[in-house]
Structure 1
Amino acid sequence: MKTIVMQNPLKEKYDHDDIAVAIGFFDGIHLGHQQVIHKMIDIAEEKQLKKAVMTFDPHPSVVLNHEMKRTTYVTPIEEKKEIFACMGIDYLFIIPFTSSFANMSEQNFIRDYFTLNHVKHVIAGFDFTYGKYGKGNMLKLEDDKDGFEVTMVQKEMIDDDKISTTNILKALKSGETKRANAMLGRPYSIKGFVVQGEKRGRTIGFRTANVMPKEDYVIPKVGVHAVRFKLLSQNKTYNGVCNVGYKPTFNDPSVNQLTIEVNIFEFDESIYGESVEVEWYEFIRDEKKFDGIDALIEQIQQDVIQSKQILSNV
């Protein structure tokens, strides 16, 4: 897959074959996004066009909505690249979402990013908008198209609710991990590195791997989760229980440092610096402060049992 960042002068970016392009922000690449991309692939193969995806970075809210800007992602840009490459995409176009881009007219957007860019077919979801103030929509794109065809993909539903990144974010933050995973079509995951922690876990019989995300991922709800832990260098996967939080039993309440710590079952290796992936399956309980170490140990033992039960059904 060739990645093309659409920075000026744009005419230097047009040196590629004719394409069918799926366009959207695609955070999560959830089941709804996948429908758009699979539709693009079908059209590209039918028309003998190259398969392309066009997305934006950063999230438009960074420019358009300072009070509600979003700087964490279900699939940060590097993860998007990996997923698109695995889907067999030929070209990935990344449009830097800047103030000047946000002010671009609908006509100029169509001309610069579609017509001149060898686009022969545009595929997008029903709610895709473009141009200044987002005034352009899929119906208008059909009317204003110039040298290309347009296909609109309808929304995907689950349990009478729209599959959307917004709903996935709500589910992850409220502990409804199974619901988020159902909308994603796969377990939510975070890639990162194992870093040095305070090493308190080993003193109470529960060694943990302290995971630092390598990108700006959305972190699931604070508390205890059933997870699977992938050691990427060895291509091995282990079951585990993960605490996301601030370790109130040990830490001063004024210390506000979020950690992701995984107790890996049946595992006793030193893996500092290793690249890993944490897959999230089910929220178990909220984080709480215990009166003493014995009460904490007893609760962790229960968490381990519950996590093993959950993951035995995966």
Structure 2
Amino acid sequence: MKTIRLHYPLDNLQEELQYSAAAIGFFDGLHRGHQDVINEMIGIAEEKGLKKAVMTFDPHPSVVLSPKKQRTTYLTPLDIKLEMLDGMGIDYCFIINFSSAFASLEPDYFVQEYLIDNKVKEVVAGFDFSYGRYGKGNIDTLRTYDDFGTTAVAKLTAGNEKISTTKLREDLANCRLEEVNDALGRPFEVQGVVVQGEKRGRTIGFPTANVEPEYRYHLPAKGVYAVTLKLNNEDEIYKGVCNVGVKPTFHDNMTRVSIEVHLFDFNRSIYGENVTVYWHNFIREEQKFSGIGELTAQIGKDKEKAVELLENL
């Protein structure tokens, strides 16, 4: 996949580009709704003999447009999104720098400079896609151009609610992990590296891998989860139980959230290893215990529950 970064003002037009069909959107999470848009584009591209392209943005538009609600954490950070798009067989990924200058562009300028000049012959987007200054451009204005075709993809719902990144973030914050995974069509995942922790787990019979996320992920709510973990240089998947939180039994004022995974039947040192944690089931909220005995008893119950939940995985 060829990655093309576009900064305003455009001074790096890619003369070697071939005509393409482009799916446009931010696509954080690449959930099933996003997949519908991209798969629609792929079908059109294959039917018309066009290259398959995705046009996305970095950073999230809210950083410029909505400072009080800006998103600086992601379900699928950019590097992960690019890996996933490459795996879907995308030929071109246009990454538009979403700056104040870009946000102020008139809709027609965006169409002429970013779509037509980059040889986009088919545009595919969600039904509610908007673009240009004040969001004045939309699917209907795109349809007024003869230079390319425009296809709008209807919303996808689950439980009578639209599948959206906003809903996914809310579900993660409210421990509705099963709903998150259903909307994604896969387990939520976080990539990171195993780092040195407080090493308290090994002293109470539950050694853990302390996973430091490699990117600015929007993490699940504090609590205990049934997870699997993959060492990125191996094929085998290991089952485990994970605590996300601030370890209130040992710390009164800790604010930094840690990810600690206890793997079943695993006895290796994996410091420095790049890993992926897959989140399958929520077990309970994080809580403060009166002492180590109460904590270890609960961890034992958590482990039993995780073993049960992951049994048929």
Same fold by TM-score greater than 0.5: yes
- CA separation in 1, counterparts of 2:131 and 2:229? 39
Q: CA deviation at 1:115?
A: 1.1
**1:174 match:** 174
Task: Check 1:98–1:9 CA distance in 2 against 1; reply closer, same or farther (3 A cut).
Answer: closer
Question: Are the counterparts in 1 of residues 226 and 242 from structure 2 also a CA contact under 8 Å?
Answer: yes
- CA separation in 1, counterparts of 2:27 and 2:253? 37
Q: Counterpart amino acid of 2:207?
A: R
Q: CA deviation at 1:9?
A: 5.4
**1:135 match:** 136
TM-score normalized with structure 1 length:
0.98
Q: Counterpart amino acid of 2:76?
A: T
Q: Counterpart amino acid of 2:262?
A: N
Question: Are the counterparts in 2 of residues 180 and 188 from structure 1 also a CA contact under 8 Å?
Answer: yes
Q: Counterpart amino acid of 1:138?
A: I
Q: CA deviation at 1:111?
A: 0.3
Q: Deviations over 1:254-305 (max 9, x none)?
A: 2222100000111110000100000001111111111111110100000000
Q: Which runs of 5+ in 2 are unaligned?
A: none
Query: Is it true that 1:44 corresponds to 2:42 in the alignment?
Result: no
Query: Is it true that 1:269 corresponds to 2:260 in the alignment?
Result: no
- CA separation in 2, counterparts of 1:7 and 1:93? 10
Q: How does 1:152-171 map to 2 (within 5 A)?
A: 152-171=152-171
Q: Counterpart amino acid of 1:78?
A: D
Q: Which runs of 5+ in 1 are unaligned?
A: none
- CA separation in 2, counterparts of 1:192 and 1:36? 29
Q: Deviations over 1:134-173 (max 9, x none)?
A: 1111112112x24111000000111211111111111111
SS in 1 for 2:12: helix
- CA separation in 2, counterparts of 1:17 and 1:76? 28
**2:73 match:** 72
Question: Are the counterparts in 1 of residues 8 and 102 from structure 2 also a CA contact under 8 Å?
Answer: no
Question: Are the counterparts in 1 of residues 13 and 117 from structure 2 also a CA contact under 8 Å?
Answer: no
- CA separation in 1, counterparts of 2:14 and 2:33? 29
SS in 2 for 1:211: strand
Q: CA deviation at 1:14?
A: 2.8
Q: CA deviation at 1:313?
A: 3.2
Q: CA deviation at 1:89?
A: 0.2
- CA separation in 2, counterparts of 1:203 and 1:190? 27
- CA separation in 1, counterparts of 2:11 and 2:48? 25
Q: Counterpart amino acid of 2:186?
A: R
- CA separation in 2, counterparts of 1:156 and 1:313? 29
Q: CA deviation at 1:7?
A: 2.1
Q: Counterpart amino acid of 2:45?
A: A
SS in 2 for 1:10: coil
**2:230 match:** 230
Question: Are the counterparts in 1 of residues 8 and 101 from structure 2 also a CA contact under 8 Å?
Answer: no
- CA separation in 2, counterparts of 1:264 and 1:153? 42
- CA separation in 1, counterparts of 2:37 and 2:286? 38
**2:116 match:** 115
Q: CA deviation at 1:116?
A: 1.1
Q: Counterpart amino acid of 2:227?
A: V
- CA separation in 2, counterparts of 1:95 and 1:8? 8
- CA separation in 2, counterparts of 1:190 and 1:17? 35
SS in 1 for 2:249: coil
Q: CA deviation at 1:87?
A: 0.1
- CA separation in 2, counterparts of 1:187 and 1:289? 28
SS in 2 for 1:285: strand
Q: Counterpart amino acid of 2:253?
A: S
**2:242 match:** 242
Question: Are the counterparts in 2 of residues 14 and 116 from structure 1 also a CA contact under 8 Å?
Answer: no
Question: Are the counterparts in 1 of residues 19 and 121 from structure 2 also a CA contact under 8 Å?
Answer: yes
**1:294 match:** 293
Q: CA deviation at 1:13?
A: 2.6
Q: Counterpart amino acid of 1:89?
A: I
SS in 1 for 2:167: helix
- CA separation in 2, counterparts of 1:208 and 1:4? 40
- CA separation in 1, counterparts of 2:250 and 2:165? 35
- Answer with 8-17 or 115-124: which moved more: 8-17
**1:20 match:** 21
SS in 2 for 1:56: strand
- CA separation in 1, counterparts of 2:96 and 2:73? 18
**1:256 match:** 255
- CA separation in 2, counterparts of 1:162 and 1:64? 23
RMSD across aligned positions (CA): 0.9
Q: CA deviation at 1:10?
A: 2.6
Query: How many residues are paired up?
Result: 312
- Answer with 83-92 or 285-294: which moved more: 285-294
* Divergent runs of 4+, >3 A: none
Q: CA deviation at 1:11?
A: 4.8
Task: Check 1:13–1:107 CA distance in 2 against 1; reply closer, same or farther (3 A cut).
Answer: same
Q: CA deviation at 1:223?
A: 0.7
